[in-house]
Amino acid sequence: MDKRISLPPEVTEPFILTATVVPDEERLRFWPQRFGSIPQWITLEPRIFAWMDRLCVDYSGGVWNFYTLSNGGAFMTPEESDGLWSLFNILNGNGAEMSAEAAGIAACLMAYSHHACRTECDAMTEHYYRLRDYALNYPECNAIMHIID
C-alpha cells in the first residue's frame, strides 16, 4: 500500500528570509516596537555604533538604515558607500572586507550577542538568532561569520 502525505506548499517550498527598509516616519518607533521588552533596550543603538567603531578603523559615523526581517528580526546598517569596508575583530583575530550592509549586520550581531549575555534575556537571544538566520543566507555570509566567530 502506497501511503503519501500531501503537504501544504508552505511546508514543501523553501522559506526565503527578506529584509525591508523601515520608512523614515517609522524610525522613532523602531527600537521600542521591536526591542521594548528587552532590559536596557535603549542602549542598543549606541552599542552598535560602538561595535562598528571597534571593528572598522575607518568608521566615522553617519546615517544608518533600519530594517525589519520577515522572521520578526530587525537590524541596522550604515548607508552604502563606494567600495568595501575593512573590518577586524581583535577578539578573534579575524579580518574581512565587506559591503556597508554586511558590516552593519556584523556589528548588530556582535552587539546583540553581548547584550543577550549581559541581560540574560531570552528575547534578545531570539533577536540574535533571527538576524543570524538572515546572515547565514546573505551573499557575504562567510565574511560576516569570519568577523563574529
Q: Is the pLDDT of residue 11 over 60?
A: no
Contact predicate 55/110, CB 8 Å: yes
Instruction: Give me the pLDDT at residue 7, please.
Output: 54
Average the pLDDT over 13-26 and give the result.
Answer: 88
What are 41-67's pLDDT values in tens digits? 999 999 999 999 999 999 999 999 999
List of domains in the chain: 46-148 (3.30.70.3580)
Instruction: Give me the pLDDT at residue 32, please.
Output: 95
Instruction: Give me the pLDDT at residue 38, please.
Output: 94
Instruction: Give me the pLDDT at residue 144, please.
Output: 98
Q: How far apart are CA 82 and CA 125, in angstroms?
A: 33
